[in-house]
Amino acid sequence: MVSSNLDTCIEKMESIIKMWKIRSLSVIGKIVIVKSHTISKLIYVISSTHVPKSYVIKIQRDINSFLWNGGTPKVKSEVIQKSPSEGGLKAPNFELQLLSFRIMWDEKTKEQGQGVESRFAEMTDHEIDILIKETENKNTMKATKWAVNVYEDWKNSKIGSGFIIPDLKDLSVQDINSILGIFVVKVRKKNGEKYPAKTLYLLVTGLLRGMRSQGVSNRNFLNESDDRFLRFRQIIDSQMKKKTIIGKC
Residue-wise pLDDT tens digits, 179-219: 999 999 999 988 888 888 878 888 998 899 899 889 898 99
Task: Give the residue-averaged pLDDT of 125-134.
Answer: 53
70: alpha, beta or left, given left = phi > 0 and alpha = psi -120 to 50? Answer: left
In the prediction, which pLDDT does 140 show? 75
Is residue 215 a contact partner of residue 171, using CB atoms and an 8 Å limit? no
> Residue 225: is its pLDDT beyond 70?
yes
In the prediction, which pLDDT does 46 show? 66
In the prediction, which pLDDT does 115 show? 47
DSSP string across 30-54? HHHHIIIIIIHHHHHHHTTS---HH
Taking the mean position of all CA atoms in its chain, how far away is CA 49? 28
In the prediction, which pLDDT does 182 show? 95
Of residues 105 and 92, the one with the higher pLDDT is 92
> Residue 121: is its pLDDT beyond 50?
no
> Residue 96: is its pLDDT beyond 90?
no
Whole-number mean pLDDT of the chain? 79
C-alpha distances out from residue 17 to 22, 57, 64, 90, 224, Å: 9, 17, 11, 18, 20
Amino acid at position 195, single letter = Y
> Residue 132: is its pLDDT beyond 80?
no
In the prediction, which pLDDT does 183 show? 95
In the prediction, which pLDDT does 232 show? 94
Task: Give the residue-averaged pLDDT of 41-56.
Answer: 73
Residue 211 CB coordination number (10 Å): 24
> Residue 226: is its pLDDT beyond 50?
yes
Using DSSP's 3-state secondary structure scheme, residue 221 falls into coil
Nearest alpha-carbon partner for 167 in 216, 204, 222, 200: 216
In the prediction, which pLDDT does 165 show? 94
Give residue 38's pLDDT band: very low, low, confident or very high (50, 70, 90). confident
Amino acid at position 248, single letter = K
Nearest alpha-carbon partner for 147 in 205, 192, 198: 205
Write out the E strands in the chain: none
> Residue 122: is its pLDDT beyond 60?
no
> Residue 159: is its pLDDT beyond 60?
yes
Is residue 118 a contact partner of residue 128, using CB atoms and an 8 Å limit? no
In the prediction, which pLDDT does 142 show? 81
Task: Give the residue-averaged pLDDT of 87-105.
Answer: 75
Q: Which of 20-29, 84-93, 124-133 has the lowest mean pLDDT?
A: 124-133
Task: Give the residue-averaged pLDDT of 230-244.
Answer: 83
Is residue 123 a contact partner of residue 44, using CB atoms and an 8 Å limit? yes
Q: How far apart are CA 249 and CA 240, in angstroms?
A: 8
In the prediction, which pLDDT does 35 show? 84
Task: Give the residue-averaged pLDDT of 30-44.
Answer: 80
What is the length of the chain? 249
The pTM of this model reads 0.50
> Residue 120: is its pLDDT beyond 50?
no
Is residue 93 a contact partner of residue 60, using CB atoms and an 8 Å limit? yes
Is residue 165 a contact partner of residue 158, using CB atoms and an 8 Å limit? yes
